[in-house]
Amino acid sequence: MDQQERARRASAARRAAGDLATRGIADVAVTWVDTSGVTRVKAVPLARLEHAAAWGIGMSPVFDAFLIDDSIASGRFAGGPVGDLRLHPDLGRLAVLSACPGWAWAPADRYDQEGEPHPLDARSLAAREVARLAASGLSVKAAFEVEWAVSIGDGDDFVPACAGPAYGMIRLTERAGYLRDVVGALSAAGVAVEQIHPEYAAGQYEVSVAPEDPVGAADTFVLVRETIRAVSQNHGLRATFSPKVLADGVGNGAHIHLSLWRDGDNLMAGGEGRFGLTAGGEGFAAGILARLPGLLAVGAPSVASYLRLVPSHWAGAYACWGLENREAALRFVTGAAGSRSQAANLEVKCFDAAANPYLALAALLAAGAAGLAEDGTLPEPVEVDPASLEGVPPLPSSLGAAVEAFETDAVLKEVLGEGLVDTIAVVRRGEIALFDGMAPEEIAARTRWRH
Ligand code: GLU
Ligand code: MG
């Protein structure tokens, strides 16, 4: 980052601070997401935003090696007490945290003291993968589905905040004021809410938001979760986005919808392939499907993720794809006739909210790009519950197995780079050791309030 860029950011921050002041904002939370998927923060008073934008906010690089319980793994590329990074808020994504009066928020890119992007920074990596596709004339639209479960009070035990049936109107009525405030706070923060509904599991709800560019989608995922968390707290409730809130039953997914575009055309529709896929759309999907076992180390990164990722829970535990198949890891969605050129997309169902969303999207884009480069083709789609068929490969059933697949995936290794690959593996193994020998109930309980 040169002096000119610093000056440009300073003047943008001056303008933004003036605007925020008129809206009663006093402080700005600047977040980034660590390797374990935990959102970390430093905050500045509004008067300091200009300095933060130009020079960043100091933060230790040790957090790359933090585990879910705030203990620290020690890797070759992260984990020591020495060094410092600069968090540079992206002012293009400034939003008001409407459920936290007086607060605004911006996501950070992490730079080193020389002004170079930090090699382990996931948001910068996602932006690089977006740029790499753009160099081939391609862009991706993405959106995270946000599932969460709501508990009454502020205790650590999970006490479902609604009692009505899954997808039931009773659940909406029971918490109508809360859900209205969730939608209101999200809209006030600039999030384009498309839908909200009661989900299947105890106390569970879901929000869908409009697709946007991948980095923006990951930012939105962070903003949506923190907004829901704050609204919940304001209502005397507690929100959990954990992959498995209770050891039994259905978990929280964080499905990622992806469509690939060239010159304004959605390559997931209007083609000669199955369900209208173009060759490019199919190659992209095939690249992801082929690499799902390794991708899980990024997208289902917690020990608790594998309590969720089981057959017959709509979590997508099989390495297959299918049209509207909710037990396939890749659910292909065409949308209704007449809307397909806009609506068709690929849903990655096996990921959850323990994932660092920037890392998850960077890895998916890398896998998709590799599939395009090798003219990948998809196998036969699966049209029934894959558990009812012989021979559909299950995805890794443990974090250890996913990490092994990750470490042998040449594409992910190349794109993520040695430092990130090593750090991810060290953190995952640290968490495997942390939860070693624990019963599912205890794993769920210790993971429940971390994301
Ligand atoms: N809650 C399910 C999961 O763990 C997903 C349900 C759905 O298909 O929306 O992913
Ligand atoms: Mg859902």
User: Domains of the chain: which residue ranges?
Assistant: 3-119, 129-447
Q: Which atom of ligand 1 is nearest to the CA of 308?
A: 4
Q: How many CB atoms lie within 10 A of CB 165?
A: 11
Q: Whose CA is nearest to atom 6 of ligand 1?
A: 314
Q: What is the pLDDT of residue 412?
A: 97
Length of the chain: 451
Question: Is residue 211 within 8 Å of residue 333, measured between CB atoms?
Answer: no
CATH classification of 129-447 is 3.30.590.10, yes or no?
yes
Give the pTM: 0.98
User: What value does the CA radius of gyration of the chain take, rounded to a whole number of Å?
Assistant: 21
Q: Residue whose CA is closest, atom 7 of ligand 1?
A: 314
How far, in Å, is the centroid of ligand 2 from the Cα of 392?
Answer: 23
Using a 6 Å cutoff on CB, does residue 326 contact ligand 1? yes
Instruction: Using alpha carbons, select from 411, 320, 305, 321 the residue that is nearest to residue 363.
Output: 411
Ligand 1 mean position, distance from CA 251 (Å): 7
* Residues 353, 397 contacting (CB under 8 angstroms): no
Rounded to whole angstroms, the Cα distance separating 158 from 249 reads 13
CA 16 vs. chain centroid, Å, equals 27
Q: What is the pLDDT of residue 99?
A: 97
Closest by CA position to 230, among listed 446, 47, 29: 29
Alpha carbon of 252 to ligand 2 centroid (Å) = 8
Ligand 1 site-directed mutation target among 244, 245, 250, most atoms within 8 Å of CB: 250
- Identify the pLDDT of residue 80: 83
**Nearest ligand (C-alpha, residue 328):** 1
C-alpha span between 201 and 148 (Å, rounded) = 9
Tens place of pLDDT per residue across the chain (451 aa):
999 999 999 999 999 999 999 999 999 999 999 999 999 999 999 999 999 999 999 999 999 999 999 999 999 998 888 889 999 999 999 999 999 999 999 999 999 999 999 999 999 999 999 999 999 999 999 999 999 999 999 999 999 999 999 999 999 999 999 999 999 999 999 999 999 999 999 999 999 999 999 999 999 999 999 999 999 999 999 999 999 999 998 999 999 999 999 999 999 999 999 999 999 999 999 999 999 999 999 999 999 999 999 999 999 999 999 999 999 999 999 999 999 999 999 999 999 999 999 999 999 999 999 999 999 999 999 999 999 999 999 999 999 999 999 999 999 999 999 999 999 999 999 999 999 999 999 999 999 999 9
What backbone phi and psi angles, to 5 degrees, belong to 312? 65, 20
Task: Indicate if ligand 1 lies below 6 Å from the C-beta of 304.
Answer: no
C-alpha torsion angle, residues 234, 235, 236, 241 (rounded to 10): -80
Check pocket membership of 198 for ligand 1, CB cut-off 6 A: no
Q: 432 alpha carbon to ligand 1 midpoint, in Å?
A: 24
Instruction: Looking at the CA of residue 201, tell me the nearest atom of ligand 1.
Output: 1
Strand partners, 208: 195
Query: Do 34 and 65 form a contact (C-beta atoms < 8 A)?
Result: no
Q: What atom in ligand 1 is closest to the CA of residue 316?
A: 10
3-state per-residue secondary structure call for the chain: CCHHHHHHHHHHHHHHHHHHHHCCCCEEEEEEECCCCCEEEEEEEHHHHHHHHHHCEEECHHHHHECCCCCECCCCCCCCCCCCEEEEECHHHCEECCCCCCEEEEEEEEECCCCCECCCCHHHHHHHHHHHHHHCCEEEEEEECEEEEEEECCCCCCCECCCCCCCCHHHHHHCHHHHHHHHHHHHHCCCCEEEEEECCCCCEEEEEECCECHHHHHHHHHHHHHHHHHHHHHCCEEEECCCCCCCCCCCCCCCEEEEEEECCEECCCCCCCHHHCCHHHHHHHHHHHHCHHHHHHHHCCCCCHHHHCCCCCCCCCEEEEEECCCCEEEEEECCCCCCHHHHCEEEECCCCCCCCHHHHHHHHHHHHHHHHHCCCCCCCCCCCCHHHCCCCCECCCCHHHHHHHHHCCHHHHHHHHHHHHHHHHHHHHHHHHHCCCCCHHHHHHHHCCCC
- For ligand 1, what atom is nearest to the CA of residue 145? 9
Ligand 1 nearest atom to the CA of residue 349, by list position? 10
Q: Closest ligand 1 atom to the C-alpha of 253?
A: 10
Residues 3-119, CATH architecture? Roll (3.10)
Place of tokens 């899954």: 166
- Which one, of 147, 157, 263, lies nearest residue 198 by Cα? 147
Tens digit of pLDDT for each residue in 68-79?
A: 999 999 999 988
Question: Which ligand places an atom closest to the C-alpha of 195?
Answer: 2
Q: What is the pLDDT of residue 81?
A: 86
* Among 263, 269, 294, CA closest to 282: 269
Asked whether 311 lines ligand 1 (CB < 6 A), one says no
Give the Å distance between the CA of 180 and the centre of ligand 1.
22
Which ligand places an atom closest to the C-alpha of 201?
1
Centre of ligand 2 from the C-alpha of residue 204, in Å: 9
Output the CA 253–ligand 1 centroid distance in Å. 5
Rounded to an integer, what distance in angstroms lies between the CA atom of residue 212 and that of residue 277?
Answer: 21
Whether ligand 1 lies within 6 angstroms of the CB of 253 is answered as yes
Q: Is the CB of 48 under 6 A from ligand 1?
A: no
Q: Is 28 exposed, middle or buried (0-12, 13-18, 19+ CB in 10 A)?
A: buried
pLDDT at 60: 94
